[in-house]
Chain A
Amino acid sequence: MFMNQFEYFAPKTPGEAFELMGRLGSKARILAGGTELVILMKDRIIRPECLIDINNIEEFKGIKYEPGKGMVIGATTKIADIQYSEIVKRKYYALADAAGEIGSSQVRHMGTIGGNSCNASPSAETPTPLVAYGATVVVSSATGEREMPLEEFIQGVRMIDLKEGELLTKFKLPEPSPKLVGRYAYMGARDANEIDFVNMAVTLELEDDKQTVKSVKLVMGSVFIKPLISTAVTALLTGQKFSDELAAKAAEATQGEAKPITDVRASAEYRHEIVGVLARRLLKEAFGAAQEV
């Protein structure tokens, strides 16, 4: 219940943050929304000596969209800001949708998008659509920046590619093609405060004939140690005329790719089953939506 004693720092600029991180090294943990970190501390799973609160750093916050260039989302942007952002809804619908499914209203107003990825939980909600939209992350330190695809940044369960002194500062989302649609779905036992058994995002674009798949990407969450991009779906559908049979076939293929585990929430067999259902439904839904644009 009670956290260990720790020293608290609240830098106001990236420079101050990097300086602190360089100085404190592994003694310090980053505090974003704290919705995950504080629980781990209260359960005494971790006992950091120092916390560096990065919420006061303006440069790490906010949603910026530039037509033609895409979107930049600061790491400490609140999940709720993404859920309610008009531009996110318009350009990256599946991301706004996924943000709206995280925890409860309280959690969404505290938690950040950066924390959701840095936490590296396989069932996390936003990494799935972010990967589907081809997001990259920028990690920064006193010595410079690195940029990499999100699926490379997340390496496994609670493992991320972050070196000592580095911070995740922003997500970059490429400008989506005007005809690209994105859809998100999840499955859990109930509809609020749920940890997903499986979640999934699809982005899909049709040729002008409104039938042929120009591009498609399906990403699965909670069925592998990190977001899993289906290669089979892309291979099976690209350049093909979309049909229910094809969607069913693609969905079956995703079941072969997923590597779910059994835990207190659901069995591997059940997750396996659900992967197929969600894939089929999402592909059809995305196709329907793509026909409308």
Chain B
Amino acid sequence: MGAWDQRENYVREGKPSYLDERRFTQVGRSVPRIDGPAKAKGESIYTADMVLPNMVYGKIKRCKEYAHAKIKKIDCSKALALPGVLAVLTGDEAPNKWGIVPASANETALAVDKVRFYGEGVAAVAAIDEETAEAACDLIEVEYEPLPVLLDPFESMARASEVIIHENAPDNIMHKGDQIYGDVDKAFEKCEYILEREFKTGRPQQCYIEPMSAVASYDTQNGLLRLWASSQVPHYLHRQMSIVLEMPMSKIRVTLPTVGGGFGGKGEAASSEFVACLLSRKLGMPVKVTYDRDEVFFTSKGRHPCYMKWKIGLDKDGYIQAVDFDNTLDKGAYAGWGVVVMFYTASMVHLPYKVPNARTHVRNVYTNKPTTGAMRGLGGVQPRFAMECMLDELAEMMGISPYELKMKNAIESGYTAINNMYTPHTEYKKCLQTAVEKSGYLEKHGKLPFGKGIGLAGGYYITGTAYTLYQSYKPHTSVTIKVDTEGGVTVLCAAAEIGQGCNTVMAQMAAEALGVHYEDVHVQTGDTEIGSFDLGSFASRLTYGSGYAIREAAKEINEKLKAMAGGVLGCRADQLIIKDRKIYSMFEPKFTIDWATVVQKYVNSVGALIATGHFSPPRRKGIDIITGNRVQGANIGHSPTFGFSCQVHEVDVDVETGRVYVKKVTEAGDCGTAVNPMSVDGQVEGSIVFNMGAALYEEMKFDANGKHLNPNFHDYKCPTFMEMPDMDTNIVESYDPTAPFGVKETGEGAVQPTFPAITNAIYDAIGVRFYEVPITPEMILKALKEKKEKEAGCGCGCS
């Protein structure tokens, strides 16, 4: 027996192993990450570290004069004349539009005719070194005709008759939509408690440590293009490259070296990648383009600021009856993930509480700022902030604890929302309960001294999407497993390891499914040519998707091995179990043989074992069989399953300086089976600190002309080690029986409750509710002053 069998988690007494699909030995181990040692030793190769023979360097000339202007003329002659300069590139040479969502794709490799945000690329240079390339950029002369700059989405809509940002959006609205389920107005009529509030969220960005970098190498002999890039979505990048370069995908190969984080920011192609490829094709030489940090800020696709109007109604017992939600999103300059993010904000209304009637109006509005896009917990963070704060306020109106109100309304396993979203399994109530009990929330809430507060909030997130972004219903993830006597077990999948740990959990799941050890498995990801198909690392989809495909592929291999073993042992193959590197009869221990022996026999007699498994997510939209009508809803927002999280934040507010210190966070999460509990803890702690920054200080700032004021880590403040609160993260017992290995997600669910938990805690501390993040010290002081003045108010002491 392996050491893992002593761990109580894995041993469920009284059940023979063949009856217990949950008796895992490899899934559930806190093994160190596959990529850990190389990273710890500084030996990992990132794209920017790569040097190819004859490689030259590309640099992008950016518009630093205007945030909105017509390009009248670009003169590159002086740049070309500079010794060491090999080529220049302008936007009109590659005018095909790219974008992660094909229906709204409107970005070009470099600006064509017009710049729409400060720092947009207008031309590029390839030179023998970066220094020369940079000097050449300075020599490119661009003539602009400035246009009025629209920085605020409401101004953008109001002035659309006068200025438009994109020709095909005459109202400056990228996209809008209404979704109505049930009869909201009628439901409000019957409500006992109704609350209406407006909320606003800020403009943080992902702050991955590794800036974008791309190395492209085009071979003029065979017409093949190789691209090494720091991306979360090798497949979408591959696809978009094919569109912009007008080359078949089969002639392009995308490879990911080590990637230093993404959090959604590398979830679509980047200008650096197109420029590197275009210049390489022009020159027939490898070209590298690496961004400086300010370029990351200029082009980063951070979180959409949202301007939200909410109305929530409860019946006399506190059950939610209706939600009315109106959201205006700040799209920035280009569409990017815009449609998706916008509709996600609408779908987030439907979980994790039962909402029988809901109406959402959403619109995503162009402005002359960097494009907003996918940022960790995409579309969820903003509405979650509002809903969880409002439930806190509603609980107070009712005179009950927010905990009670949330427990009352929380969904249960098997819940189908009014928009047809289906939750196969949830332990959300257990999350609420655990976080509340472990933090002592009920004992502390409302009872701490002035300046100290405790706040509760919950949330959830998807575990993958139901659709591809280009409307194809092919499998979203395919995994090939190869077993032979040379390499052992190799898992091949074109997934993107961006630091989230997918290679490690894929190895654990493959080991589990094949009955070997985690240490026996090699994982090959991040290459569109080597790996089987995968959509990319976003939407917290990979553990579930790859787990499903791994299980399928492994099943095929196991059957072959069992047949071989059955022959050797002289027993029935369907009575054999593979576990702990052994193949044995589930009834008679004497029939046991080493897994490796059977593999050898199989390879010697038949050849290497190879199998591919596929994962296609379930679809919810479709045609009603009886009525023939289309079933509405559950397209954007639906997911195979959902992860849940509850957080209790304890804050100290310095009421004189306005600074908020998050002292302690108690979290309880339902991530299904924790494939690697250590990784889960890392994801959860990271998630909390990620949004703690955006709740309190992270904000991209612009002046009245759209120029960035803080495009560096000195003035854009992320939390540092010094701000790290005390963390108590708890993985609640959970197993989704519909999921491979019972898994869900954990990388994005835990960012959801952070804004409202902190905001509710601040309210508990100082009695002021905020409806806007980041909540800065200045805002705290101002609010305290106003509160004091109000309390002094009529002078009768009635407050």
Which A residues contact B (CB, under 8 angstroms)?
A: 1-2, 187, 189-195, 264-267, 269-270, 273-274, 277, 281
CB of A45 to closest CB in B, whole Å: 14
The answer to whether B720 and A193 have CB atoms under 8 Å apart is yes
Known: A2-B130, A195-B714, A264-B710. A190 touches B657 (CB 8 A): no
Q: Is B131 an interface residue (CB 8 A)?
A: yes
The answer to whether B778 and A267 have CB atoms under 8 Å apart is yes
Task: Give complex CA distance A1, B697 in Å.
Answer: 27
The answer to whether A2 and B723 have CB atoms under 8 Å apart is no
Chain B residues within 8 Å of A266, by CB: 778
Chain A residues within 8 Å of B722, by CB: 190-192
Task: Give complex CA distance A266, B697 in Å.
Answer: 12
The answer to whether A191 and B777 have CB atoms under 8 Å apart is no
A-B contact pairs, 16 of them (CB 8 A): A2-B131, A2-B135, A189-B696, A189-B697, A190-B717, A190-B722, A191-B722, A191-B723, A192-B721, A193-B713, A193-B714, A193-B720, A195-B715, A264-B709, A267-B778, A270-B658
Q: Is B175 an interface residue (CB 8 A)?
A: no
Which 4 pairs from chain A and chain B are nearest by CB? Answer: A191-B722, A192-B720, A277-B656, A192-B722
Task: Give complex CA distance A274, B658 in Å.
Answer: 9
> Can you name the residue of chain B whose Cβ is closest to the Cβ of A187?
B657
> Can you name the residue of chain A whose Cβ is closest to the Cβ of B709?
A264
Q: Is B701 an interface residue (CB 8 A)?
A: yes
Residue in A1, A194, A264, A270 whose beta carbon sits within 8 Å of that of B777 in the complex = A270
Per-residue contact bits, chain B 776-797, to A (CB 8 Å; 1 contact, 0 not):
1110010000000000000000
Chain B residues within 8 Å of A270, by CB: 658, 777-778, 781
Q: Is B652 an interface residue (CB 8 A)?
A: no
> Can you name the residue of chain A whose Cβ is closest to the Cβ of B133?
A2
CB of A215 to closest CB in B, whole Å: 27
Task: Give complex CA distance A264, B721 in Å.
Answer: 23
Q: Is B745 an interface residue (CB 8 A)?
A: no
Chain B residues within 8 Å of A187, by CB: 657, 659
Besides A264-B701, A273-B781, 7 other CB < 8 A contacts? A187-B659, A189-B659, A189-B717, A190-B720, A191-B720, A270-B658, A277-B656
Q: Is B356 an interface residue (CB 8 A)?
A: no
CB of B59 to closest CB in A, whole Å: 9
CB of B242 to closest CB in A, whole Å: 31
The answer to whether A190 and B697 have CB atoms under 8 Å apart is yes
The answer to whether B715 and A265 have CB atoms under 8 Å apart is yes
Q: Is B102 an interface residue (CB 8 A)?
A: no
Q: Is B134 an interface residue (CB 8 A)?
A: yes
Chain B residues within 8 Å of A189, by CB: 659, 696-697, 717, 776-777
Q: Is B84 an interface residue (CB 8 A)?
A: no
CB of A87 to closest CB in B, whole Å: 27
Task: Give complex CA distance A274, B657 in Å.
Answer: 6
Q: Is B292 an interface residue (CB 8 A)?
A: yes
> Can you name the residue of chain A whose Cβ is closest to the Cβ of B716?
A264
CB of B396 to closest CB in A, whole Å: 29
Task: Give complex CA distance A277, B715 in Å.
Answer: 24
The answer to whether A264 and B715 have CB atoms under 8 Å apart is yes
CB of B589 to closest CB in A, whole Å: 59
Task: Give complex CA distance A189, B654 in Å.
Answer: 12
> Can you name the residue of chain A whose Cβ is closest to the Cβ of B785?
A273
> Can you name the residue of chain A whose Cβ is closest to the Cβ of B720?
A192
The answer to whether A2 and B657 have CB atoms under 8 Å apart is no
> Can you name the residue of chain B whose Cβ is closest to the Cβ of A273?
B781
CB of B661 to closest CB in A, whole Å: 9
Task: Give complex CA distance A194, B723 in Å.
Answer: 12
Chain A residues within 8 Å of B134, by CB: 1-2
CB of B652 to closest CB in A, whole Å: 13
Task: Give complex CA distance A264, B711 in Å.
Answer: 11
Chain B residues within 8 Å of A264, by CB: 701, 709-710, 715
Q: Is B719 an interface residue (CB 8 A)?
A: yes
> Can you name the residue of chain A whose Cβ is closest to the Cβ of B132?
A2
Task: Give complex CA distance A50, B778 in Å.
Answer: 44
CB of B768 to closest CB in A, whole Å: 16
> Can you name the residue of chain A whose Cβ is closest to the Cβ of B134?
A2
Chain A residues within 8 Å of B659, by CB: 187, 189
The answer to whether B781 and A1 have CB atoms under 8 Å apart is no
Per-residue contact bits, chain B 701-740, to A (CB 8 Å; 1 contact, 0 not):
1000000011001110101111100000000000000000
Chain B residues within 8 Å of A273, by CB: 781
CB of B7 to closest CB in A, whole Å: 38
Chain A residues within 8 Å of B781, by CB: 270, 273
Chain B residues within 8 Å of A2, by CB: 130-131, 134-135
CB of A267 to closest CB in B, whole Å: 6
Task: Give complex CA distance A187, B776 in Å.
Answer: 13
Task: Give complex CA distance A43, B649 in Å.
Answer: 40
Task: Give complex CA distance A191, B723 in Å.
Answer: 7
Task: Give complex CA distance A274, B696 in Å.
Answer: 18
Chain A residues within 8 Å of B713, by CB: 193
Task: Give complex CA distance A9, B359 in Å.
Answer: 71
Known: A193-B714, A264-B709. A1 touches B292 (CB 8 A): yes
Task: Give complex CA distance A274, B131 in Å.
Answer: 44
CB of A39 to closest CB in B, whole Å: 9
Residue in B130, B135, B719 whose beta carbon sits within 8 Å of that of A190 in the complex = B719
Task: Give complex CA distance A277, B658 in Å.
Answer: 11
Task: Give complex CA distance A205, B217 in Å.
Answer: 71
Chain B residues within 8 Å of A194, by CB: 717
> Can you name the residue of chain A whose Cβ is closest to the Cβ of B295?
A1
Which B638-670 residues sit within 8 Å CB-CB of chain A? 656-659
Chain A residues within 8 Å of B135, by CB: 2
CB of A119 to closest CB in B, whole Å: 14
CB of A102 to closest CB in B, whole Å: 13
Chain A residues within 8 Å of B719, by CB: 190
CB of B105 to closest CB in A, whole Å: 31
Per-residue contact bits, chain B 463-481, to A (CB 8 Å; 1 contact, 0 not):
0000000000000000000
CB of B132 to closest CB in A, whole Å: 9
Task: Give complex CA distance A189, B713 in Å.
Answer: 13
Chain A residues within 8 Å of B656, by CB: 277, 281
> Can you name the residue of chain A whose Cβ is closest to the Cβ of B779?
A270
CB of A221 to closest CB in B, whole Å: 16
> Can you name the residue of chain B whose Cβ is closest to the Cβ of A5?
B131
